[in-house]
Structure 1
Amino acid sequence: MTLSGVLVPLITPFDAAGAVARDALEALANEVLDDGAAGLVALGTTAEPTSLNTVERHLVLDVLLGVCRERSAALLVGASTPDALAELRGRPGVTAAMSTVPPFVRPGEDGVVAHFAALAAASPVPLVVYHVPHRTGQHLSAGTLRRLAAVDGVVGVKYAAGLDADAVDLLADPPAGFALLGGDDVVISPLLALGAHGGILASAHFATARFVELVDAWHADDAGRGRALGHRLAPLSAAVFAEPNPVVVKAVLHAQGRIPTPAVRLPLLAAGPGSTREALRQVERVTPVAA
């Protein structure tokens, strides 16, 4: 089955003592699934995985595995090395691993294909390529993404390269069974208009149901509804990403009373009050008032 819909890359909430707030994490997972998300991402960039120790990473994964198994929801897990992938063995319920294109090394496109072929051959679960060139320094052409789609065990891509010519090319003739999931929240609507299957959207911690409506509108070829929702949601996404992810997400979740603290770990710093106010304003603007 091709991955589709809205997947929310969950933050890792911390309590007042600095520990992972397990109950808040479980509640967040259930909230976004209640609002129609198709699944979750554990230990993605939004979760601050490099700031978590091994015990904390296992805790986060166990909590979200439990929720997704109970809810029959998809679960992607950030895992980009053979060792990280090996840790997913024997964990039923993991739909796929989200594996980043090797950062900093810039191995070239042939090197990226060889890298993912080796990862996929050793992985206990399918792989979703995380293509985020502004972080990795490695561009991938539409042709290379088609080569990756042909690798046994590679089932999709989180496309966080904006709305560029390669996205247009790939979606004009998409590989069968290969999911293109938008990863740049501000441009998710035009990507869906071009044929993207869904999105991995940190913005969808908020107004989750509106993002689900956006995906459903474009999948139903309701361009009028899709454009209207896209224009409405893009300012929210821009506000959420006004500072390094996930600092604004956490600030707003804390202001809403959904997590115990807005704390992030170094090298991240807390969101500024101006960014938090603007993001809260945008959330309120797109969230229906309860009757």
Structure 2
Amino acid sequence: MDFGRLVTAMVTPFDVDGQIDWDTTGRLIDYLIEEQKSESLVVSGTTGESPTLTDDEKLELFRYAVKHADGRCKIIAGTGSNNTAHSIHLTQAAEEAGVDGILLVVPYYNRPSQEGLYQHFKSIAQSTKLPVMLYNVPGRTGANLSAATTLRLAHIENVVATKECASLDQLTHIISAAPEGFLVYGGDDSMTLPVLAIGGHGIVSVASHVIGPQMKRMIDSYLQGNVKEAARLHGQYHPMFKGIFEAPHPVPNPVAIKFILGLSGMHVGGVRLPLVDVTDQEAEFLRKLL
């Protein structure tokens, strides 16, 4: 399964009461596919505020996204957690909902060993026929899925990709030793071009909510051998890559991108506690950034 080069980790739109806004969700899916050039959408990932979505909400989101996208892009369901049995349950339900693949985050808080991580992902992968994308984000989970364990998992037939937020050294190790067909995605927008340069396949992006065509142009320029143009675009949009997470001090994802979407005319509502909306100072910074 090739999820494309530009994958957007989609926000979850909420109404004024903090409930999922289904009409806006449909408009957002159309906007990301048609205007922002997303080739796949991650639904109920970190950017989708998965920690505060119920299982029923997640499954309804999966069903809605599959139906509304109608084959125009692939839908990847975020079904990972720190409970293996629960992840298996949600993964199997997502498969029944018709999604194209699943995203499995490294278990957080309980900090398993590398063997525990291997057995966790192996058990979930063997419970489904869907292609699996691993998701290593040590800064959020408190645990690092090592390159060696990632490569071990890459030999499981339906473990086809990883979204990697560790160091370039770890990315390089994985890319250089991965079996043929195993795809490595960056998970940090500012690393899109460096990841491509060391042989990575693409990016699971947040910035692509608002600068998707520009990111696609940067990716295509690099792949076509126009490295100078790709580097120019990387430099031009680097302030956005960094600013949506550091405005003017680190802002939890997806607070900033939801605000910027609103500035762009795509109003997706606020965030659920324990996240809070941007401060006046942050709002002013993001207006200038956009």
* Same fold flag (TM > 0.5): yes
Distance in 2, Cα, partners of 1:273 & 1:192: 36
Q: 252, 265, 278: which one pairs with 1:271?
A: 278
Query: Is 1:241 the equivalent of 2:237?
Result: no
Q: 85, 91, 94: which one pairs with 1:85?
A: 91
Distance in 1, Cα, partners of 2:183 & 2:63: 25
Partner secondary structure for residue 155 of structure 1: strand
Q: Which amino acid aligns with 1:257?
A: G
Q: What corresponds to 1:286 in structure 2?
A: none
* Root-mean-square deviation (Å): 1.7
Distance in 2, Cα, partners of 1:98 & 1:169: 21
Contact 1:239 1:275 in 2 (8 A): no
Q: What corresponds to 2:9 in structure 1?
A: 9
Distance in 1, Cα, partners of 2:137 & 2:106: 8
Query: Is 1:195 the equivalent of 2:202?
Result: no
Query: Is 1:222 the equivalent of 2:229?
Result: no
Map Cα deviations across residues 78-117 of structure 1 (whole Å, 9 max, x no partner): 002111112123223x221100111122222222112211
Q: Which portions of structure 1, spanning 4 or more consecutive aligned residues, are displaced by more than 3 angstroms?
A: none
Q: Which runs of 5+ in 2 are unaligned?
A: 81-86
Q: What corresponds to 1:232 in structure 2?
A: 236
Distance in 2, Cα, partners of 1:101 & 1:232: 32
Contact 1:3 1:197 in 2 (8 A): no
Q: Which amino acid aligns with 2:175?
A: L
Q: Quote how far apart the aligned CAs of 1:70 are.
A: 4.1
Q: Which amino acid aligns with 1:168?
A: T
Query: Is 1:45 the equivalent of 2:8?
Result: no
Distance in 1, Cα, partners of 2:6 & 2:282: 25
Query: Is 1:126 the equivalent of 2:131?
Result: yes
Q: Which amino acid aligns with 1:98?
A: L
Contact 1:39 1:68 in 2 (8 A): no
Q: Which amino acid aligns with 2:110?
A: V
Q: Quote how far apart the aligned CAs of 1:46 are.
A: 0.6
Q: Which amino acid aligns with 1:21?
A: D
Q: What corresponds to 1:253 in structure 2?
A: 261
Contact 1:128 1:157 in 2 (8 A): yes
Map Cα deviations across residues 190-241 of structure 1 (whole Å, 9 max, x no partner): 1112121111101111111011112212222321111111112221021111
Distance in 2, Cα, partners of 1:183 & 1:226: 18
Q: Quote how far apart the aligned CAs of 1:127 are.
A: 1.1
Q: 213, 217, 237: which one pairs with 2:217?
A: 213
CA, structure 1 residues 58+115, in 2 after alignment: closer, same or farther (shift >3 Å)? closer
Distance in 2, Cα, partners of 1:28 & 1:89: 23
CA, structure 1 residues 274+237, in 2 after alignment: closer, same or farther (shift >3 Å)? farther
Q: Which runs of 5+ in 1 are unaligned?
A: 284-291
Identity of aligned residues (%): 27
Contact 2:162 2:185 in 1 (8 A): yes
CA, structure 1 residues 174+281, in 2 after alignment: closer, same or farther (shift >3 Å)? farther
Q: What corresponds to 2:31 in structure 1?
A: 31
Q: What corresponds to 2:184 in structure 1?
A: 180
Map Cα deviations across residues 4-35 of structure 1 (whole Å, 9 max, x no partner): 31111111111123221111111111112113
Give the TM-score normalised by the residue count of structure 2. 0.90
Q: 145, 149, 154: which one pairs with 2:154?
A: 149
Contact 1:85 1:124 in 2 (8 A): no
What are the residue-to-residue correspondences of 1:88-99 with 2, within 5 Å?
88-92=94-98, 94-99=99-104
CA, structure 1 residues 224+61, in 2 after alignment: closer, same or farther (shift >3 Å)? same
Moved more, 105-114 or 122-131: 105-114
Distance in 2, Cα, partners of 1:216 & 1:17: 41
Partner secondary structure for residue 177 of structure 1: coil
CA, structure 1 residues 121+254, in 2 after alignment: closer, same or farther (shift >3 Å)? same
Query: Is 1:115 the equivalent of 2:128?
Result: no
Contact 1:187 1:234 in 2 (8 A): no
Contact 2:168 2:195 in 1 (8 A): no
Distance in 2, Cα, partners of 1:25 & 1:44: 15
